[in-house]
Amino acid sequence: MDLVQLQRQLVDYRTSLYHEGFLDEQFTQLQELQDENNPDFVVEVVSLYFEDSERLLNELSKALEQQIIDFKRIDAHVHQLKGSSSSIGAQRVQKLCIVFRNYCEAQNVEGCLKCLQQVKHEYSIVKTKLESMFQLERQILNAGGSVPV
Protein backbone atom coordinates (compact mmCIF):
# COMPACT_ATOMS: atom_id res chain seq x y z
CA MET A 1 0.00 0.00 0.00
CA ASP A 2 1.08 3.50 -0.61
CA LEU A 3 3.03 4.94 2.28
CA VAL A 4 1.32 8.28 2.13
CA GLN A 5 -2.05 6.62 2.09
CA LEU A 6 -1.03 4.59 5.13
CA GLN A 7 0.11 7.67 6.95
CA ARG A 8 -3.15 9.43 6.15
CA GLN A 9 -5.08 6.40 7.30
CA LEU A 10 -3.20 6.44 10.58
CA VAL A 11 -3.90 10.10 11.17
CA ASP A 12 -7.58 9.67 10.37
CA TYR A 13 -7.82 6.64 12.56
CA ARG A 14 -6.17 8.43 15.41
CA THR A 15 -8.44 11.44 15.02
CA SER A 16 -11.47 9.20 15.04
CA LEU A 17 -10.25 7.65 18.27
CA TYR A 18 -10.09 11.08 19.82
CA HIS A 19 -13.42 12.11 18.43
CA GLU A 20 -15.19 9.00 19.54
CA GLY A 21 -13.81 9.59 22.96
CA PHE A 22 -11.71 6.49 23.27
CA LEU A 23 -8.63 8.57 23.92
CA ASP A 24 -8.02 12.01 25.32
CA GLU A 25 -5.20 14.51 25.35
CA GLN A 26 -3.32 12.42 27.86
CA PHE A 27 -2.53 10.02 25.06
CA THR A 28 -1.17 12.93 23.08
CA GLN A 29 1.06 13.84 25.97
CA LEU A 30 2.15 10.25 26.12
CA GLN A 31 3.11 10.42 22.51
CA GLU A 32 5.00 13.61 23.15
CA LEU A 33 7.09 11.80 25.69
CA GLN A 34 8.29 9.44 23.00
CA ASP A 35 11.52 10.52 21.34
CA GLU A 36 14.75 9.14 19.88
CA ASN A 37 16.01 8.04 23.28
CA ASN A 38 12.80 6.22 23.92
CA PRO A 39 11.39 5.16 20.57
CA ASP A 40 8.96 2.54 21.81
CA PHE A 41 7.74 4.41 24.82
CA VAL A 42 4.07 4.47 23.91
CA VAL A 43 3.95 0.84 22.95
CA GLU A 44 5.75 -0.11 26.14
CA VAL A 45 3.41 1.86 28.31
CA VAL A 46 0.33 0.64 26.53
CA SER A 47 1.41 -3.01 26.72
CA LEU A 48 2.07 -2.51 30.36
CA TYR A 49 -1.40 -1.10 30.60
CA PHE A 50 -2.90 -4.12 28.83
CA GLU A 51 -1.04 -6.49 31.09
CA ASP A 52 -2.03 -4.63 34.19
CA SER A 53 -5.62 -4.16 33.19
CA GLU A 54 -6.15 -7.80 32.26
CA ARG A 55 -4.80 -8.85 35.62
CA LEU A 56 -7.06 -6.36 37.36
CA LEU A 57 -10.12 -7.40 35.37
CA ASN A 58 -9.48 -11.02 36.23
CA GLU A 59 -9.11 -10.15 39.86
CA LEU A 60 -12.31 -8.16 39.72
CA SER A 61 -14.25 -11.02 38.12
CA LYS A 62 -12.97 -13.37 40.77
CA ALA A 63 -13.71 -11.01 43.57
CA LEU A 64 -17.26 -10.46 42.40
CA GLU A 65 -17.90 -14.20 42.19
CA GLN A 66 -17.12 -14.68 45.86
CA GLN A 67 -19.86 -15.41 48.36
CA ILE A 68 -18.77 -12.59 50.58
CA ILE A 69 -17.69 -9.72 48.45
CA ASP A 70 -14.78 -7.65 49.64
CA PHE A 71 -15.79 -4.25 48.35
CA LYS A 72 -12.66 -2.60 49.67
CA ARG A 73 -10.49 -4.80 47.56
CA ILE A 74 -12.67 -4.26 44.53
CA ASP A 75 -12.52 -0.53 45.07
CA ALA A 76 -8.73 -0.65 45.27
CA HIS A 77 -8.59 -2.60 42.02
CA VAL A 78 -10.94 -0.25 40.25
CA HIS A 79 -8.94 2.68 41.54
CA GLN A 80 -5.83 1.14 40.01
CA LEU A 81 -7.58 0.57 36.74
CA LYS A 82 -8.89 4.09 36.74
CA GLY A 83 -5.44 5.50 37.46
CA SER A 84 -3.72 3.61 34.68
CA SER A 85 -6.53 4.29 32.24
CA SER A 86 -6.29 8.00 32.87
CA SER A 87 -2.51 7.79 32.51
CA ILE A 88 -2.73 6.45 28.98
CA GLY A 89 -5.80 8.52 28.17
CA ALA A 90 -8.31 5.71 27.83
CA GLN A 91 -11.01 8.00 29.02
CA ARG A 92 -14.04 5.80 28.40
CA VAL A 93 -12.63 3.11 30.65
CA GLN A 94 -11.65 5.74 33.16
CA LYS A 95 -15.14 7.18 33.28
CA LEU A 96 -16.72 3.80 33.68
CA CYS A 97 -14.33 3.20 36.56
CA ILE A 98 -15.73 6.26 38.30
CA VAL A 99 -19.25 4.84 38.02
CA PHE A 100 -17.95 1.47 39.13
CA ARG A 101 -16.45 2.99 42.24
CA ASN A 102 -19.72 4.67 43.08
CA TYR A 103 -21.52 1.33 42.93
CA CYS A 104 -18.73 -0.12 44.98
CA GLU A 105 -19.20 2.50 47.61
CA ALA A 106 -22.91 1.81 47.66
CA GLN A 107 -22.07 -1.93 47.86
CA ASN A 108 -24.35 -2.53 44.95
CA VAL A 109 -23.39 -6.00 43.64
CA GLU A 110 -25.63 -5.87 40.63
CA GLY A 111 -24.35 -2.47 39.60
CA CYS A 112 -20.80 -3.66 40.08
CA LEU A 113 -21.36 -6.68 37.90
CA LYS A 114 -22.99 -4.56 35.22
CA CYS A 115 -20.11 -2.09 35.40
CA LEU A 116 -17.57 -4.86 35.22
CA GLN A 117 -19.16 -6.09 32.02
CA GLN A 118 -19.15 -2.59 30.57
CA VAL A 119 -15.56 -1.99 31.61
CA LYS A 120 -14.51 -5.27 30.03
CA HIS A 121 -16.34 -4.32 26.90
CA GLU A 122 -14.86 -0.84 26.72
CA TYR A 123 -11.46 -2.18 27.54
CA SER A 124 -11.59 -4.74 24.77
CA ILE A 125 -12.64 -2.06 22.31
CA VAL A 126 -9.89 0.31 23.28
CA LYS A 127 -7.42 -2.56 23.22
CA THR A 128 -8.45 -3.56 19.73
CA LYS A 129 -8.34 0.02 18.55
CA LEU A 130 -4.94 0.68 20.03
CA GLU A 131 -3.58 -2.55 18.69
CA SER A 132 -4.80 -1.80 15.20
CA MET A 133 -3.28 1.63 15.50
CA PHE A 134 0.05 0.16 16.49
CA GLN A 135 -0.35 -2.26 13.62
CA LEU A 136 -0.69 0.65 11.25
CA GLU A 137 2.31 2.37 12.75
CA ARG A 138 4.38 -0.79 12.39
CA GLN A 139 3.32 -1.08 8.76
CA ILE A 140 4.42 2.46 8.14
CA LEU A 141 7.74 1.86 9.86
CA ASN A 142 8.24 -1.36 7.93
CA ALA A 143 7.51 0.48 4.73
CA GLY A 144 10.37 2.76 5.70
CA GLY A 145 8.24 5.82 6.51
CA SER A 146 7.98 7.77 9.71
CA VAL A 147 4.98 7.87 11.96
CA PRO A 148 3.26 11.23 11.67
CA VAL A 149 2.72 13.02 14.92
Partner 1 sequence: MNWFINGEFKDPKAGLLGDSGDKMWFKCWDEISNLSFKIHHQYYQFIGSKKVCKSWWRKLLFSWIIGWTLASVSIFCYMSSLATEKRKETLSSMCDERARMLQDQFNVSMNHIQAMSILISTFHHGKTPSAIDQETFARYTEQTAFERPLTSGVAYAVRVLHSEREQFERQQGWTIKRMYTLEPSRIQEEYAPVIFAQDIVSHVVSLDMLSGKEDRENVLIARRSGKGVLTAPFRLLKTNRLGVILTFAVYKRDLPSNATPNERIQATDGYLGGVFDIESLVEKLLHQLSSKQTILVNVFDTSNQSYPISMYGSNASNDGLEHVSHLNFGDPFRKHEMRCRFKQKPPWPWVAITTSIFILVIALLVGHIFHATVNRIAKVEDDCHKMMELKKQAEAADIAKSQFLATVSHEIRTPMNGVLGMLDMLMDTNLDVTQLDYVRTAQASGKALVALINEVLDQAKIESGKLELEEVQFDLRAVLDDVLSLFSGKSQDKGVELAVYISDRVPEMLIGDPGRFRQIITNLMGNSIKFTEKGHILVTVHLVEEVIDSIEVETEASSKNTLSGFPVADRRQSWKGFRTFGQEEPVHPFSDSINLIVSVEDTGLGIPSEAQPRVFTPFMQVDPSISRTHGGTGIGLSISKCLVGLMNGEIGFVSIPKIGSTFTFTAVFASCSSSSKEYKSQQINSQSNTVSSEFHGMRALVMDPRPVRAKVSRYHIQRLGIHVEVISDWKQGLSIINKGDSAIHMVLIEQEVWDRDLNCSDLFINKLEKIGHGTPPKVLLLSNSVNSSSGNVTTGACDLSIVSKPLRASMLAASLQRAMGIGSKGNPRNGELPSMSLRNLLLGRKILIVDDNNVNLKVAAGALKKYGADVVSATRGSEAIDLLTPPHQFDACFMDIQMPEMDGFEATRRIRDMEHNINNRIQFGELSVDAYNNVSNWHVPILAMTADVIQATHEQCQRCGMDGYVSKPFEAEQLYREVLRFFQ
Using CB under 8 A, list all residues that contact partner 1: 26, 29-30, 32-35, 37-38, 41, 44-45, 48-49, 51-52, 76, 79-80, 83-84, 86-88
Nearest distance from residue 28's CB to partner 1, in Å? 11
Residue 78 or 147 with smaller CB distance to partner 1 = 78
Nearest distance from residue 143's CB to partner 1, in Å? 27
What does the alpha-carbon distance between residue 59 and residue 71 come to, in Å, rounded to a whole number?
A: 12
Closest CA to 42 of 101, 8, 89, 102: 89
What does the alpha-carbon distance between residue 27 and residue 93 come to, in Å, rounded to a whole number?
A: 13
Residue 7 or 91 with smaller CB distance to partner 1 = 91
Sign of the torsion formed by the C-alpha atoms of 89, 30, 43 and 57: negative
Nearest distance from residue 112's CB to partner 1, in Å? 19
Residue 38 or 117 with smaller CB distance to partner 1 = 38
Q: Are 63 and 69 in contact (CB under 8 A)?
A: yes
| DSSP single-letter state for residue 22 | S
Nearest distance from residue 138's CB to partner 1, in Å? 20
